[in-house]
Amino acid sequence: MELLCIILLSLSIPFAIGDLQVGFYNSSCPQAESEVLSVVSKHFATDHSVTAAFLRMYFHDCFVRGCDASILIAPTKKKKTERSAGPNLTVRGFEIIDEVKANLEAQCPSTVSCADIIALATRDAVALAGGPNYDIPTGRRDGLVSNPKDVRLPGPSLTVSGAFQFFSAKGFTLEEMVILLGSHTVGVAHCVFFRDRLGNFQGTGAPDPSMDPSLKAKLTRICGPRPKPLKKDPTAFLDQNTSFVVDNQYYNQLLVNKGVMQIDQELASDSSTASVVSGLASDEAGFLQKFADALVKLGNVEVLMGTGGNIRKKCTAFT
């Protein structure tokens, strides 16, 4: 019944948001959105972490050259791509996008863009994890450039003001930044991204005093005494309570000093964002609606439309 409801809601009457349009493929490939949902649902059934994977892929794609699927281009021995950049080495879910694309190419050749598949897959994965089921406009086209040097993303140790420089450059308000960081309601972080908080915070030789002692002890057990190569580096859930559910528990944990990464915890302590965090922590329905709105806005960042870019036949290559 839940799957049927998601399908029915996605087949709403087309309407425009910006220059993109909900239901863009209703005539050219009417099964496009249901095909995406079918594949994502299959993978979610055996691996609930796909929600975090797609949220991360969506963000990393849209924040670099806009939502143009440039993150999907596979590197070769001779040419590196965005996937080669450090922040993207742990991005996952490419094989699911490839599966959707192959199915759609068999049914509607050269019609559905890879950029739209990312946006739709993210929407469906969020809904399957208990989050909002929202209309996402489509009509994006795929980019023709994928350069690792273009990958500049906000890091986990930034201050609130430092992180906001990245978000404001893409047209987001401070509140919307806090809401989008609510994506940390699902997913994990490698120990390398927060290890300094456990014993040598900002070079002090001591732990971050703002971290809850019980969380510090737990993370120390997970991470071990020494750093490890990224592929072997342990991970910890960013939401220690409801790790696979899209809800507002992430914000409630920040209020009791249980944010895993520095930027997370600073949202609750910085005077410019503390009230936003407390408001979202006390209003789950409000967060879910605002989260949906922010994800839709994210999908409108610097998109290619009309004759811009192309529609790839394979998401991993420009052709």
Q: In which domain, by residue range, is 96 found?
A: 2-152
Task: Give yes or no: residues 16 and 132 share one domain.
Answer: yes
CB contact at 8 A, 169 and 182: no
Q: Is 98 annotated as a binding residue?
A: no
Residues 242, 119, single domain; the answer is no
pLDDT digits (tens, 9 = 90+) for 115-147: 999 999 999 999 999 999 999 999 999 999 999
Residue-level pLDDT at 7: 39
Do 145 and 181 fall within a single domain? Answer: no
Tell me, yes or no, whether 234 and 288 share the same domain: yes
- Average pLDDT taken over every residue of the chain: 93
Whether 317 is in a domain gets the answer no
Does the annotation place 154 within a ligand binding site? Answer: yes
Q: 135 among the known binding-site residues?
A: no
How far apart CA 60 and CA 73 sit, in angstroms, is 13
User: Are 58 and 120 part of one and the same domain?
Assistant: yes
242 is in an annotated binding site: yes
Does 82 carry a binding-site annotation?
Answer: yes
CATH number at residue 79: 1.10.520.10
Both 28 and 138 in a single domain?
A: yes
CATH number at residue 218: 1.10.420.10
pLDDT tens for each residue of 251-306: 999 999 999 999 999 999 999 999 999 999 999 999 999 999 999 999 999 999 99
Residues of the chain with pLDDT under 70: 1-18
* Residue positions annotated with a catalytic role: 60
Domain count across the chain:
2
